[in-house]
Amino acid sequence: DTGVSQDPRHKITKRGQNVTFRCDPISEHNRLYWYRQTLGQGPEFLTYFQNEAQLEKSRLLSDRFSAERPKGSFSTLEIQRTEQGDSAMYLCASSPPVGTDQFVSGNTIYFGEGSWLTVV
Shortest spacing between CB 85 and other proteins, in angstroms: 18
Return d(Cα 106, Cα 70) in angstroms, integer.
26
Task: List the interface residues with other proteins, window 75-114 (CB under 8 A).
Answer: 91, 93, 98, 102-104, 106-114
Nearest distance, CB of residue 55 and other proteins, angstroms: 7
Residues 11 to 70 in contact with other proteins, rule: CB under 8 A? 31, 33, 35, 40-45, 48, 50, 55-56
Taking the C-alpha atoms of residue 4 and residue 77, their distance in angstroms, rounded to an integer, is 15
CA separation for the pair 34, 54 (Å, rounded): 11
What letter does residue 120 receive in the DSSP assignment?
-
CB of 106 to other proteins, least distance (A): 4
- C-alpha 67, offset from chain centre: 8
Smallest distance from other proteins to CB 44, Å: 8
User: Exposed (0-12), middle (13-18) or buried (19+): which is 66, by Cβ within 10 Å?
Assistant: middle
Binding site for other proteins (CB under 8 A): 4, 31, 33, 35, 40-45, 48, 50, 55-56, 91, 93, 98, 102-104, 106-114
